[in-house]
Amino acid sequence: MISYHTTQIQGLSIFYREAGQPDRPTLLLFHGFPSASHMFRDLMPQLEDHFHLIAPDYPGFGQSASPDRSQFAYTFDHLAEIMTAFMEKLDLTPAYLYVFDYGAPIGFRIATQHPDWIQGIISQNGNVYQEGLGPKWADRQDFWTQPTAEKRASYRTAFAPATIKGQYLTGTRPDTVSPDGYTLDIAYTQTPGYAERQLDLIFDYQNNIKLYPKFQAYLRAHQPQLLAVWGKNDPSFIYPGAEAFKRDDPNTEVDLLDAGHFALETHARTIAQLIIQYFNV
């Protein structure tokens, strides 16, 4: 049974979902863009007999507080800081991490700063390698190198309804993806200030790529158990990014699924089974 909570972190209301008994190993579920913790709604029931599951919404996403960008810096460093404080307040360490999309640079920041907190990592289309960047990232490099107001405005297409729906459907078999997830994500784009805070994060994403060498050094130094389970048809984070983990961490298993970016929409049961088997929980 999933329960729903909020807690105060640095003056912000942070929403999270919880399932499983607290005496089981903790698994933190870090969502991606343009979604929130509801992306784990099918996975959590599959794992609640094996883990204590916690899935938060970051500030500016889902049901968590969304302060105006004039009062809150929407950077990945700042989101990782809030999630670190969240873990400390709820006494969630040590823990396994499930990182997806934006959750990867957030989770890997925490792992590099607190390696003793990390029992293992599941990376589901959560990239930390140049090899995993799809073609769209070349255009973003131009925006990062020579930013203009016009280029910034052009990235509003990243959270247009058709784009969000495409993120869910591209690379999946027809008629296998429920509309629930992308419909809710589209609804969240209509909340006040959504566009500007998300554009801030799109611009800041360049700093995640600059940290890839540091994330990879963490993997070489600590070699956590790592399950890279990937929707192999994802055009945003392509599957060579999954295979690259093996270069730095010999304790890596790679499983490529016939799915797109949001692989949990079609493969939640399969991913749960892979997690249970690999971590032997």
Catalytic residue ranges: 261
Phi and psi dihedrals of 193, rounded to 5?
A: 75, 0
Q: Where on the phi/psi map is residue 202: left (φ > 0), alpha (ψ -120 to 50), or beta? A: alpha
Dihedral sign from CA coordinates of 200, 115, 237, 31: negative
Instruction: Give me 179's structure tokens.
Output: 């509309």
Instruction: Give me 16's structure tokens.
Output: 């999270």
| Contact yes or no for 102/77 (Cβ under 8 A) | no
In terms of DSSP bridges, do strands 52-56 and 26-30 run parallel, antiparallel, or are they unpaired?
A: parallel
Q: Which residues, in sequence order, are CB contacts of 167 under 8 Å at separation 6+?
A: 34, 182, 236, 260, 261, 262
